[in-house]
Chain A
Amino acid sequence: MSDSIERNAAEIARGVNSGAFSAAELTRSMLAHIDRTEPQVGAYLSVLHERAAATAARVDERIKQGERLPLAGVPLAVKDNMCLEGTRTTCGSKILEHWTSPYTATAVQRLLDAGCIPVGKANMDEFAMGSSCENSALGVTRNPYDLERVPGGSSGGSASAVAAFEAAIGMGSDTGGSIREPAAFCNLVGFKPTYGRVSRYGLIAFASSLDQIGPLTRTVEDAALAYDAMGGHDPMDATSIDRPFETTADGLRTDLRGVRVGIVREFATKELGPEIDALYAKAYRDLEALGAELVEVALPTAEYGLATYYLIAPAECSSNLARFDGVRYGLRVEGANVHEMYERTRAAGFGPEVKRRILIGTYALSSGYYDAYYVRAQKARTLIAQDFAKAFASCDLIAAPAASSPAFTFNAKSDPYSMYLMDYYTIPMSLAGLPALSVPCGWVTPPGGASPMPMGLQLTAPLFAERALLSAAHAYERATGHAAAQRPVIAMEATQ
């Protein structure tokens, strides 16, 4: 295996722009590596051999014409809930298994315009509902650091692909933690920007007041480059924010002097066990050693985050997924009348987790229960957002765990609620619309585990403070270097 496929996005772009190697060469090596590695990892639902080769040739042509592209030749994994014209976009669901995108999502298009090469469509929990990728109806994705463990979810395919060097940038979508949790599980940086900062045109909707697209990468710098390319206003998405866009990659600092970092009183890590507790205590001390001032902050309503989320997200999903009815696209199962066709199509097309969420959402929105459940949850959401606003009066960033444990084994969370708990630390930030990321912060060997597994430190910033957020993460990453401490078992086997 050539080391070229292990280059990060920033290095690849420098190499292709300077002519040190071509996008076509790198893409050939990358596709060969993907073909070798995929039988073990299963990150992709489709690998785009011809599309990638054709795109690489065009990028090389643009470079030859004198253009310089911020992400020239960078291999890109696209989560399979994002449209790329002419490719299957399945959402990990049988109901869209054979559906071909008739257009390209704005965020995808902007990365292609910046020089990215789309090498595959990545597996995911069905309709982005899940925290392990096990809810995909179309394939199993494994964690490159221990093949007996899940990659996290819902953006598990994108995470697995980037961790196994099958892409340098993975596109994810985060509704309650679906970028940050798989990033933590797979030793990556996973970044969810402020709600509305990245266009969702061409992202198949799950919960519209929460969904946000962002990158999964091996370095903070790559996350910043990807965000700079994909972010900003888009007239095709009415919820995309129309205010000046601040780039981030040009402002990455190496220290945290003058930065006040809030440690959340309610997120004490003692109950996560002594090893994990010590790991986060060390992470907070490392922030302090970089010059940050640690302050205690309170988020008294954060503990209501899960209950609030599991009313709002299913309510919105039950409404969004009403469009899958067998009429215009996707699966159709015939029935004696149109109602029977709807019911049979949806019964055959949706998996159990999607059905559960549709049912809970329909119930929460139904007559007599709307105020008790849905409206009350929206009011709780207000309180949670207000708690963050109060906390940010005394700090610039908030530090917390990204997940309560390292990646777990397959079938370990068969009870739905135990799976929902995986997003305990990420959901409050999503409800408040805040920019947040996970950055590698160390390794723990789970009980009975074969090898050390990565953990993630979650940093959260006020609305639109992406620049400060990525800058702090970069300083922490540069000082600690946790990501380099272990190698994925896949790549080690391939290099032997």
Chain B
Amino acid sequence: MIPLPFNHRSTPILSSEKIDIRYVATLARLALTDDEVARFGAQLGDLLEHVDALAKLDVSAVAATAQVVESRNVERDDILAPSLDREVVLAQAPARQGAFFRVPRIIAE
């Protein structure tokens, strides 16, 4: 379990506090060098200061927009149709075993 380094607020507000960049990188499954931690940390801090401008907008009575034009779920009829050939797809795999993608062990012995 990764410890949560942030102050959790009951009413979140915009914040320019320093980002724990290593923790965010862990969530993003991204290995960073020490140099990247320093550089990205400073750059993202700068960006968040700009983004803080949004705190000036009164959005208390505004609905959130996820899709601008139309948003409805689309389902196709449940009929068999051709799809990509399995061999064509597996040919791009970094590692395969038979009809499967091969990955390092996930469950410890």
> Do A and B come from the same complex?
yes
Q: Do B14 and A329 touch (CB < 8 A)? A: no
Q: Do B31 and A379 touch (CB < 8 A)? A: no
Q: Which of A165-173, A262-270, A352-360 contacts B (4 or more CB under 8 A)?
A: A352-360
Q: Do A379 and B69 touch (CB < 8 A)? A: no
Q: Do A327 and B70 touch (CB < 8 A)? A: no
Closest to B55 in A: A376
Contact among B7, B28, B65 for A381, CB-based, below 8 A? B65
Contact among B48, B57, B105 for A338, CB-based, below 8 A? B105
Is A492 in contact with chain B by the CB < 8 A criterion? no
Closest to B94 in A: A332
Considering the chains assembled together, what is the distance between the CA atoms of A227 and B94 in angstroms? 37
Looking at the assembled complex, report how far the CB atom of A434 sits from the nearest CB atom of chain B, in whole angstroms: 8
Q: Do B14 and A343 touch (CB < 8 A)? A: no
On chain B, the residues within 8 Å of A431 by CB distance are 68
Q: Do B64 and A417 touch (CB < 8 A)? A: no
Mark each residue of chain B from 1 to 22: 1 if its CB lies under 8 Å from any CB of chain A, else 0. 0001011110011110001010
Closest to A386 in B: B62
Q: Do A241 and B69 touch (CB < 8 A)? A: yes
On chain A, the residues within 8 Å of B80 by CB distance are none
In B31-85, the 8 Å CB interface with A consists of: 31-32, 36, 40, 43-44, 46-48, 50-54, 57, 59, 62-70, 73-74, 76, 84-85
Q: Do A371 and B12 touch (CB < 8 A)? A: yes
Q: Do B24 and A342 touch (CB < 8 A)? A: no
Count contacts on A: residues with CB < 8 A to the other chain. Answer: 77
Looking at the assembled complex, report how far the CB atom of A94 sits from the nearest CB atom of chain B, in whole angstroms: 14
Looking at the assembled complex, report how far the CB atom of A168 sits from the nearest CB atom of chain B, in whole angstroms: 30
Considering the chains assembled together, what is the distance between the CA atoms of A327 and B103 in angstroms? 7
Looking at the assembled complex, report how far the CB atom of A175 sits from the nearest CB atom of chain B, in whole angstroms: 13
Looking at the assembled complex, report how far the CB atom of B31 sits from the nearest CB atom of chain A, in whole angstroms: 4
On chain A, the residues within 8 Å of B73 by CB distance are 238
On chain B, the residues within 8 Å of A433 by CB distance are 68-69
On chain B, the residues within 8 Å of A358 by CB distance are 28, 30
Known contacts being A209-B67, A301-B57, is A343 close to B51, with CB within 8 Å? no
Count contacts on B: residues with CB < 8 A to the other chain. Answer: 58
Looking at the assembled complex, report how far the CB atom of A422 sits from the nearest CB atom of chain B, in whole angstroms: 14
On chain A, the residues within 8 Å of B27 by CB distance are 362, 366
Is A341 in contact with chain B by the CB < 8 A criterion? yes
Known contacts being A194-B69, A332-B94, is A360 close to B84, with CB within 8 Å? no
Contact among A318, A334, A335, A385 for B65, CB-based, below 8 A? A385
In A428-468, the 8 Å CB interface with B consists of: 431-433, 463
Q: Do A195 and B12 touch (CB < 8 A)? A: no
Q: Do B15 and A382 touch (CB < 8 A)? A: no
Q: Do A310 and B51 touch (CB < 8 A)? A: yes
Is A100 in contact with chain B by the CB < 8 A criterion? yes
Closest to A350 in B: B30
Contact among A335, A350, A372 for B104, CB-based, below 8 A? A335
Mark each residue of chain A from 291 to 324: 1 if its CB lies under 8 Å from any CB of chain B, else 0. 0000000000101101110110000001000100
Is A103 in contact with chain B by the CB < 8 A criterion? yes
Considering the chains assembled together, what is the distance between the CA atoms of A373 and B92 in angstroms? 37
Closest to A342 in B: B29
Considering the chains assembled together, what is the distance between the CA atoms of A430 and B44 in angstroms? 23
Q: Do A382 and B65 touch (CB < 8 A)? A: yes
On chain A, the residues within 8 Å of B8 by CB distance are 367-368
Residue with the greatest number of chain B CB neighbours at <10 A, chosen from A307, A369, A463: A307
Looking at the assembled complex, report how far the CB atom of A192 sits from the nearest CB atom of chain B, in whole angstroms: 13
Considering the chains assembled together, what is the distance between the CA atoms of A276 and B20 in angstroms? 42
Is A254 in contact with chain B by the CB < 8 A criterion? no
Contacts A/B (CB < 8 Å), 29 sampled:
A99-B92, A102-B84, A195-B69, A196-B69, A209-B66, A209-B68, A241-B70, A306-B50, A307-B52, A310-B51, A318-B28, A328-B93, A334-B104, A336-B104, A338-B103, A341-B103, A343-B29, A350-B30, A355-B40, A356-B40, A362-B28, A366-B27, A367-B4, A368-B8, A371-B12, A372-B12, A378-B65, A378-B66, A380-B59
A interface residues, Cβ below 8 angstroms from B: 99-100, 102-103, 194-196, 209, 235, 238-239, 241, 301, 303-304, 306-308, 310-311, 318, 322, 325-332, 334-344, 346-347, 350, 352, 355-356, 358-360, 362-363, 366-373, 375-383, 385, 416-417, 420, 431-433, 463
